[in-house]
Amino acid sequence: MGIDIKISPSQDAIGKHAAKRIKQLLELKPDAVIGMATGSTPEPMYAELVRMHKEEGLDFSRATFFNLDEYAGLRPDHPESYHAYMQTHLYDHINADPAKIHILDGKAKRLGNEVLTFEAKIKAAGGIDLQILGIGTNGHIGFCEPGTSFNSRTHVVKLAQSTRQDNARFFGGKVSKTPEYALTMGIQTIMDAKRIILLANGEGKAAAIRSAAQGPVSPNTPASILQEHDNVTFMLDPAAAQSLDRSVTRGTRRP
């Protein structure tokens, strides 16, 4: 129990450390099941994984991948879909087996079936060994917005206004063009992962990181439930860690 905090000098350094953890896992367990996240934060992690594949021969062929979330209503080939994000940042450049890449389909005819099938696939794969997470400025993980039940499994969600504002930068700066609904792993789905690494950088995330790491465990800050997981690391830059009490950061190893 308790969150392990690691502070790195930059977003790039965070990405490199997270990629190293994925590499270590794949070396130990080539058929590992890995949960991936999108957003600006993990981009350097994906760049490093691609480098590791190209320069060091890191093999992804036996691994299975699940993505945390996807916008509802966007076709997989929409440039801002998380399908497209994952192809562009990772899957187009490594040797992952397409049959082992699972991303929720935001255009599925029956979204209710899509979320159930996704859960069943995670179960059939033996559960997630390592889940990568970002965090929203409102404390969300995946698209589990404040108020989401800690017991939730993969579900359809109406996005919080703050999330749509945060993500409008990908939709021409227009909240009105930003999807209103999404599909996301649930909080219990995330908590079932054997190991979790949450990445955050920049002062805009400092308040959310403080609430997540040392606030009360409450659905108001979905990420606060991570305090109850027994294998969680927050990889932060100094700006994202700036509001944590010294008692939390004292003695943190700089990876």
CB nearer ligand PGA, residue 135 or residue 241: 135
Give the alpha-carbon dihedral of 16, 24, 225, 119, to 10 degrees: 110
Which helix or strand (DSSP H or E) is residue 182 part of? strand 181-184
Q: Name which of 41 and 64 has its Cβ closer to ligand PGA.
A: 41
Closest to ligand PGA by CB, 58 vs 145, is 145
Alpha carbon distances (Å) from 184 to 51, 102, 181? 29, 12, 10
Least distance (Å) from ligand PGA to the CB of residue 163?
7
Residue 40 is a binding residue for ligand PGA (CB under 6 A): yes
Determine which residue in the list 35, 134, 179, 222 makes contact with ligand PGA, applying CB under 6 A: 134
Residues 6+ apart with CB under 8 A from 104: 67, 69, 70, 114, 115, 118, 154, 183, 184
- Phi then psi dihedrals of residue 76, to 5 deg: -55, -25
Task: Centre a 10 Å sphere on the Cβ of residue 180 and count the other Cβ atoms it contains.
Answer: 14
Nearest alpha carbon to residue 19 among 118, 125, 94, 121: 94
Q: Is 67 in the site for ligand PGA (CB under 6 A)?
A: no
15 binds ligand PGA (CB under 6 A): no
Q: Is 165 in the site for ligand PGA (CB under 6 A)?
A: no
Rule CB under 6 A: say whether 41 interacts with ligand PGA. yes
Stretch that binds ligand PGA, among 19-27, 34-42, 233-241, 245-253 (CB under 6 A): 34-42
Stretch that binds ligand PGA, among 80-88, 95-103, 128-136, 178-186 (CB under 6 A): 128-136
Residue for token pair 């919080």? 160
Residues in touch with ligand PGA (CB under 6 A)? 39-41, 134-136
